[in-house]
Amino acid sequence: MADMDLRETYDRIADDWHKDHLKDDWWIAATDHFISLFKPGAWILDVGCGSGLKSKYLVQHGLNVVGIDLSDKMIQIAKREAPSAKFFVMDMSDSPELQRKINKKFDGVFIQAALLHISKDKAFAVLAGLVTILKPGGYLYVAVKGSHPGEKDEAIVKENDYGYEYERFFSYFTKEEIEKYFDDLKFGICYESPAGPGKTKWIQIIGRSS
């Protein structure tokens, strides 16, 4: 699915998506570990920040946050949710524009449920571009949906959770695939979360740059 299609989808569902995800908790333990790696005031780039729920959480725990997302509507909500953070409407695959616009090195890059919207033939290149804005010794957090044996590892999923139909593109990964990304980027893995309950198997990995 093209980036513009995904942008239009998230602009359309932003309000409903935000309300629907207010009570999610699968991410908290791994995110708390990520937070524990930094001193207060460290700078974090929240990639694919959506409506700012995780940006808000990071700010509440003493970190400075810059969030980027493809959807203008999501960024509008994020600015409301986390007014002390900085937000930009930006494509995470455009790392040169990211560096020009933000012009900053970060202590951590947080990519939760965002890389899963990138096709698998492009995912590593996108990740490699994003980590160029990390300081030496910086930390990378990635959360993606795990693949299931016998099922496709890429799909356009039709949904109607909010009383109307919409479509999103997803990539699904194995833990070994994400571990290899970290290894190829020369990031030492310092945390891996076990798959949580529920039908979605989330893979969460944190690593530190060499």
Do residues 133 and 98 lie in contact, with contact meaning Cβ atoms separated by under 8 Å?
Answer: yes
For the domain made up of 3-21+31-209, give the CATH fold.
Rossmann fold (3.40.50)
pLDDT in tens, 6-43: 999 999 999 999 999 999 999 999 999 999 999 999 99
pLDDT in tens, 63-96: 999 999 999 999 999 999 999 999 999 999 998 8
For the chain, which residues make up each domain, given as ranges? Answer: 3-21+31-209
The C-alpha atoms of residue 119 and residue 106 are separated, in whole angstroms, by: 25
Global confidence as pTM: 0.95
Do residues 51 and 77 lie in contact, with contact meaning Cβ atoms separated by under 8 Å?
Answer: yes
**Secondary structure letter of residue 91 according to DSSP:** -
